Amino acid sequence: MATEKKIAFITGGNRGIGLETASQLAQAGVKAVIGSRSLENGKAAIAKLKAEGLDVDVIRFDITKPADYKEAYAYFDKNYGKLDILINNAGISRENFLDGNNASKVSPAVLRETFDTNFFGTIELTQTLLPLIKKAPEGRIVNLSSILGSLTLHADPGSPIYGAKVLAYDASKAALNAFTIHLAYELKDTKIKVNSAHPGWVKTDMGTDAAPMEIPDGAKTSVQLATLAADGPTGGYFHMGQPLPW
C-alpha cells in the first residue's frame, strides 16, 4: 500500500546542493531519502537534519553501479510502494573550469568517467525507478544539468559562458538535457513532469568558494521543479523559474 506522504530520492545527497535539497524538501513535508556512496558519510550528513526533526533517511548508493539501481528500487518498493520525486543530483567534474578550451586534449578516460556518472548512470537509474514513479500520483523528475550544458549559449560569442568550455562536463550535461526532452516527450500524456535544472554557480566543493551563490539558494531550482503544480511545465530547462535556451 503506497503511503500518502511524498517520497523523494536525491542522489549525491550527502553534501552540497543535494543535501540542501533534501533539507528543503523535508521542510516542505516531503520524506527525503538521500543516496550516498558512503553510508557513514550519509548518516553523518543527515544527523543534523534529523536532530531538527526533519523526516530524512539515507541509503548507500553509487550512480556508477548498476546493482545499486536495483537495490534502490527494492528499498522504495518495499518501504513506500512508490517514488514521487527523483532528483538526479549526483554529478562530477574532472576538468579545470578555469582552464577551458580542452576539446583537443581532454582524455578518453575523463570523458568516459564523466559520462558514466553524469549521463549513463543517471539514465539507467531513472529507467529502473520509473515504474515506481508511475505509481505515485504525480511524479517529478529533476535532472541536475548546468548552464554549461546549453549548446545555444556555448555557440553565442555574446553569452556569459562563451569562454567556459570544458568538453566532458559540458557535453555530459547537454546529453542529459537531451534525456530530459526525450523522457518528457515519452511521458507527456502522464502526470509525470521531467525537467532540467541549472542550480546557479554555487559555493560547493564543485562550485568552489569563487561561486557567487550560497548553497540554500543553489537548491531552490531543484526544489521548485520537484514540487511543481499539476499545471507546471515539463520538458524544460530552468534556473530559478526562468527558462534557459537549450
Ligand X SMILES: NC(=O)c1ccc[n+]([C@@H]2O[C@H](COP(=O)([O-])OP(=O)(O)OC[C@H]3O[C@@H](n4cnc5c(N)ncnc54)[C@H](OP(=O)(O)O)[C@@H]3O)[C@@H](O)[C@H]2O)c1
The catalytic site residues sit at 169
All three cell numbers of 198, joined, read 541549472
Helix axes 39-51, 16-27, angle to 10 degrees: 40
Query: Is 143 near ligand X (CB under 6 A)?
Result: no
- Our CB check for ligand X shows the closer of 133 and 144 to be 144
Between strands 242-243 and 237-239, the pairing is antiparallel
Say which DSSP state 147 is in.
G
Q: Is residue 195 part of the contact set for ligand X (CB under 6 A)? A: no
The site string for ligand X over 149-188 (x = CB under 6 A, - otherwise) reads ----------------------------------------
Which of 89, 114, 180, 227 lies at the binding interface for ligand X (CB under 6 A)?
89
Site size with ligand X, rule: CB under 6 A = 30
234 part of the interface to ligand X, by CB under 6 A = no
Neighbour count for residue 190 (Cβ, 10 Å): 13
User: Does 207 participate in binding ligand X (rule CB under 6 A)?
Assistant: yes
Among 7, 8, 14, 82, binds ligand X (CB under 6 A): 14
Q: What is the DSSP letter of 213?
A: B
Cell of 110: 575523463
Q: Is 42 in the site for ligand X (CB under 6 A)?
A: no
Q: Which three cell numbers stand for residue 244?
A: 534557459
Q: Which of 5, 39, 38, 33 is nearest to 21 (CA)?
A: 33
Taking the complex as a whole, how short is the minimal distance between the CB of residue 46 and ligand X, in angstroms? 12
- Chain-centroid distance of CA 117 in Å reads 11
Task: Name the minimum Å distance from CB 207 to ligand X.
Answer: 3
The smaller minimum CB distance to ligand X, of residues 199 and 236, is found at 199
Per-position b or e across 91-105, b if 16+ CB within 10 A of its CB? bbbebebeebebeee
The footprint of ligand X (CB under 6 A) covers 11-12, 14-18, 37-38, 41, 61-64, 89-92, 117, 144, 146, 198-199, 201-202, 204-207, 211
